[in-house]
């Protein structure tokens, strides 16, 4: 078929027989998910949902090469992640992590500037092009007034904007976000989700994000990955998964149910 050729061109990330987990020592390996097979295409905003401890962050870090998967392969733009150097990976994937940055004198601009490090020479200064990219990312996030402020003095919402600006300045096809909406007030969450959705579709970027904001994810994500305990992994469109009752199954908790009509969690006696 004609369209399948275009489709395969659009695939940017491919998981083949992937086993995620971590080994705390040689003897004890903790398996989280076994034999994952799926693809990510350009322009998708994929929300990874699941209860605490399901392995959402581990999956994200495995896909970015920060930790190595137990088995299987990850193809990024047709290249095997295992064979790529950190520098090569940093030109394909940018990240927003939950790690705290607590340096006292780093400005927002300094932090966004590190997003350009994959491109410059080892020691060279930021070029004019780098500076334009940095300016553009601040503008996109309407965060220009934060540029010269110290990162540590910013509110949680502003910090998240700066980290997002760093990821955007890195100018990668894939953007991975670990809980970008945590610690942010409700309107702020909607602003970020809306931004991510529009950014992905407008610039054909592929965004993978973990989140606990299920209701927002259902509204904005183009696709969901449901990660549960006991090796549960479901990949599908939000509406389809919701109607199948998969959200309920994922968070299987006594006294709480997900109502597909109202798109909300509700308690029952």
Partner 1 sequence: MISRTHTTIIFAILPLVIVGLFLVNLWFGSVPIDWKDVWTALFTNGGVSTAAQIIVVQYRLPQAITALSVGVGLSIAGLLLQTTFNNPLAGPSVLGISAGASLGVALLVLIGGVAGSFMSNTIAIMGDLAMVFAAFGGALIVLLIIVFVSGKIGNAVTVLIIGIMIGYLVSAVVGTLQFFSNSEDLHAFILWGLGSFSKTSNLQSMSILAITTIVVFVVLIFSKPLNALLLGKQYAISSGFNVKIMQTVLILIAGFLIALDTAFTGPIAFLGLAVPHIARSFFKTSNHSILIPATALIGAALALGCNLVSKLPGYDASLPINAVTSIVGAPIVIWVIIKGRRISNG
What residues line the site for partner 1 (CB under 8 A)?
61, 64-66, 85-87, 89-91, 93-95, 97, 99-107, 110-111, 113-115, 117-118, 120, 122-123, 125, 148-150, 170
Q: Tell me whether residue 98 or residue 186 sits nearer to partner 1 (CB atom).
A: 98
Q: Tell me whether residue 144 or residue 231 sits nearer to partner 1 (CB atom).
A: 144
Q: Tell me whether residue 94 or residue 137 sits nearer to partner 1 (CB atom).
A: 94
Q: Tell me whether residue 91 or residue 229 sits nearer to partner 1 (CB atom).
A: 91
Provide, rounded to whole angstroms, the least separation between the CB of residue 208 and partner 1: 14
Among 207, 216, 241, smallest CA distance to 227 is for 241
Provide, rounded to whole angstroms, the least separation between the CB of residue 106 and partner 1: 5
Q: Tell me whether residue 44 or residue 178 sits nearer to partner 1 (CB atom).
A: 178
Provide, rounded to whole angstroms, the least separation between the CB of residue 97 and partner 1: 5
For 8, 167, 168, 256, the CA distances from 93, given in Å and listed in that order, are: 19, 9, 10, 37
Tell me the C-alpha distance between 43 and 53, whole Å: 28
Provide, rounded to whole angstroms, the least separation between the CB of residue 101 and partner 1: 5
**Angle formed at CA 214 by CA 151 and CA 247, multiple of 5 degrees:** 150
Provide, rounded to whole angstroms, the least separation between the CB of residue 65 and partner 1: 8
Provide, rounded to whole angstroms, the least separation between the CB of residue 198 and partner 1: 23
Q: Tell me whether residue 99 or residue 261 sits nearer to partner 1 (CB atom).
A: 99
Return the structure tokens found at 199: 């950014």
Answer yes or no: are the C-beta atoms of 139 and 147 closer than 8 Å. Answer: no
**Angle formed at CA 40 by CA 38 and CA 45, multiple of 5 degrees:** 125
Provide, rounded to whole angstroms, the least separation between the CB of residue 232 and partner 1: 26
For 1, 39, 76, the CA distances from 11, given in Å and listed in that order, are: 16, 6, 9
Query: In b/e form, how buried is each residue of 168-203, taking b as 16+ CB within 10 angstroms?
Result: bbbbbbbbbbbbbbeebeeebbbbbbebbbebbeee
Q: 174-178 and 93-96: which strand pairing?
A: parallel
Query: In the block, which residue shows the tokens 């931004």?
Result: 195
Q: Tell me whether residue 114 or residue 194 sits nearer to partner 1 (CB atom).
A: 114
């Amino acid at each position: 078929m004609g369209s399948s050729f275009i489709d395969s061109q659009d695939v940017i990330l491919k998981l083949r027989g992937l086993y995620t987990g971590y080994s705390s020592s040689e003897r004890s390996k903790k398996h989280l998910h076994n034999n994952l097979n799926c693809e990510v295409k350009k322009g998708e905003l994929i929300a990874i949902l699941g209860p605490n401890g399901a392995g959402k962050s581990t999956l994200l870090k495995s896909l970015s090469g920060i930790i190595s998967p137990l088995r299987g392969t990850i193809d990024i733009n047709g290249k095997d992640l295992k064979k790529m150097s950190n520098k090569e990976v940093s030109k394909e994937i940018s990240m927003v992590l939950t790690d705290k940055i607590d340096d006292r004198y780093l400005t927002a601009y300094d932090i966004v500037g590190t997003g350009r490090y994959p491109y410059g020479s080892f020691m060279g200064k930021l070029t004019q092009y780098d500076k334009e990219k940095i300016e553009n990312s601040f503008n996109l996030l309407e965060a220009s007034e934060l540029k010269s402020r110290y990162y540590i003095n910013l509110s949680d919402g502003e910090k998240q904007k700066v980290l997002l600006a760093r990821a955007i300045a890195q100018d990668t096809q894939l953007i991975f976000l670990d809980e970008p909406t945590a610690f942010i007030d409700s309107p702020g969450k909607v602003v970020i989700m809306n931004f991510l959705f529009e950014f992905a579709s407008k610039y054909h970027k592929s965004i993978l994000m973990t989140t606990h904001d299920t209701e927002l994810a259902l509204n904005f994500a183009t696709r969901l990955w449901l990660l549960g305990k006991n090796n549960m992994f479901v990949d599908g469109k939000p509406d389809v998964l919701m109607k199948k009752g998969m959200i309920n199954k994922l968070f299987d908790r006594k006294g709480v149910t997900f109502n597909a009509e109202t798109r909300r969690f509700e308690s029952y006696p």
